[in-house]
Amino acid sequence: MEYFNVFSGFGEVPGVPVGAVFKDRASLVEHRVHINTQWGIIGTRDRGAESVVVSGGYEDDKDYGDLIIYTGHGGRDQDTGKQVDHQSFDARGNAALVTSHVTGVPVRVIRGADAKRKNSHAPSYGYRYDGLFQVESFWQGPGQSGFRVCCYRLVKVSESTAGWDVVTDVASLPSGNVEPGRTRVTRSQIRRARALSLAVKELHDYRCQICDARLTIKGLGYAQGAHIRPVGQPHSGTDTPDNLLCLCPNCHVLFDNGEIVVNDDLTIVSSQPNRGLLRTSHDHVINLDHLRYHRDLFR
């Protein structure tokens, strides 16, 4: 298959404002907003995704407006749309959305009319371009059907980010910008108990519980507080000591993306060289249910 023939470009489409409504999928293609009438996700693993269509048809999608829990493709019955098998991150579109998460390049979101009127954020007619969303995280979980589906947390980007052209010819780097401008960005964020995170880091003397690294800044320890079961929709992890780890930034990224998981006996499972056991403390006990929840997102 030649996917590169179906690449239109990242970011906003010139002349298409947020809120523009199109009568059908063919019209989306014609205006280069979503360039395939069948696929829900336009993109490839190499480049990432450029656009997704949120339709009323998928039982596991959840639409909160500026936050969408979007599910991938595959495993659905062609006639009924029901989930009849597991989904895989190897599938083209599912892999593309993982790449979008890693690169940080946002995707265009188009919402389709919801015939069943269950989604109050869907348009009453046709397909509406609803702006750019960042793929904040991905995981796998059981859908309503019981089969494992690929999930993505899409969060609306307020910033106007026209011109996300991704360069593939690395022999000539883009020239960049000698005087980069500023922009105002608004987003919703979890109100964390920073005192708690500080106390956990202090208790571990800012040493990573996974790799034992201890970064310092002017002699002060530096680490990050990482939630095991993610806080926020749809995981609703708690901001409590038994759900927090003291990690270095590298292990934090790997843990949040499932490249590191921890077994019930606290052995660390990682693509990196053997890590041994998660270092814990009598004064800071980890809830094994949270470790299990985290493992299950990425198994």
- 253-272 positions binding a second copy, by CB under 8 A: 253-254, 257, 259, 271
Region from 30-38, 52-60, 80-88, 165-173 binding a second copy, contact rule CB under 8 A: 165-173
Q: How far apart are CA 149 and CA 75, in angstroms?
A: 8
| The only residue of 88, 99, 263, 267 in contact with a second copy, by rule CB under 8 A | 99
Taking the least distance from each CB to a second copy, the nearer of 118 and 218 is 218
Tell me how far apart the alpha carbons of residues 294 and 12 are, in angstroms, rounded to a whole number. Answer: 34
For residue 143, CA distances in Å to 70, 82, 92, 116 come to 12, 11, 20, 19
Half-sphere exposure of residue 102, counting CA atoms within 13 Å on the CB side? 14
Per-residue contact string for residues 179-208; x = within reach of a second copy by CB under 8 A? xxxxxxxxxxxxxxxxxx-xxx-xx-----
Identity of the residue, 28 or 208, whose beta carbon is nearer to a second copy in the bound complex: 208
At its nearest, how many Å lie between a second copy and the CB of residue 55?
A: 25
Round to whole Å and give the CA distance between 123 and 56: 10
Q: Does 274 bind a second copy (CB under 8 A)?
A: no
Q: By CB under 8 A, tell whether 118 contacts a second copy.
A: no
Closest approach, Cβ 32 to a second copy, in A, equals: 19
Report the residue number, 102 or 115, with the smaller CB distance to a second copy: 102
Q: How far is the CB of 266 from a second copy (least distance, A)?
A: 19
What are the residues whose beta carbons fall under 8 Å from the beta carbon of 27, sequence distance 6 or more?
A: 126, 127
Q: What gap in Å lies between CA 55 and CA 78, rounded to an integer? A: 15
Please report whether residue 20 would count as binding a second copy according to CB under 8 A.
no
The answer to whether 175 contacts a second copy (rule: CB under 8 A) is: yes
Quote the longest CA-to-CA distance of the chain: 63
Instruction: For residue 241, say if its preceding peptide bond is cis, omega within 30 degrees of 0.
Output: no
Closer residue to a second copy in complex, CB, 34/227: 227
